[in-house]
A = this chain, B = another copy of it.
Amino acid sequence: MSDRQLTGPSTDLGATRIARRERMRRRRQVIDLGVLDAHLGYFVRRLQVWIFQDFVRTLSAFDIRPAQFSVLVVIEANQGLSQADLAGTLGIERARLVRLLDGLERRGFTRRKASPIDRRSHALFLTESGQAALKRIKAAAAEHEAHLTERLGARKREALLSALRDFV
């Protein structure tokens, strides 16, 4: 951030240009994407991979991956919800959620309690240490989001966010 001031107003554009040139150099040839250029999925995938990598790198001190983060956040916001509801909300398989929760429970972040209304299901909670950890994890995740804003530009990030929000 601070080094930006030295280069003046064109910093963002300059940084983008430099980054692009760097990517081109690595490629050493201008390669045609062909019909890929008309497929939204290709670009969505590239962005998603970039986001995952930056997320993991930024939160490496916590050893938290995007899926784990989403589970912690949704449990915090809906204490006592069931695994089925959680899986349905996040669009992940119930079978996969089992392992995910096993890991978070082993680390002392979450807990499965007996549901008071349905003996088949579990009510999910964050432990106290889970809540404390999540507080710091969310701060780191916000840092990741700042990287994204830096990379996309605040306007574009906001536009994408509101465009995609009602998709789910």
Considering the complex, give the chain B residue whose CB is closest to the CB of A168: B46
Q: Is the interface of A mostly helix, strand, loop or mixed?
A: helix
- Taking CB atoms and an 8 Å cut-off, the chain A residues in 27-42 that contact chain B are 27-29, 31-42
B40 lies within 8 A of A89 (CB): no
Q: Flag whether A157 is at the interface (Cβ < 8 A).
A: yes
Cα of A88 to Cα of B30 in the assembled complex, Å: 11
Considering the complex, give the chain B residue whose CB is closest to the CB of A29: B85
Q: Flag whether A105 is at the interface (Cβ < 8 A).
A: no
Cα of A86 to Cα of B34 in the assembled complex, Å: 12
Q: Flag whether A48 is at the interface (Cβ < 8 A).
A: yes
Given A27-B85, A27-B89, A159-B163, CB of A148 within 8 Å of CB of B41: yes
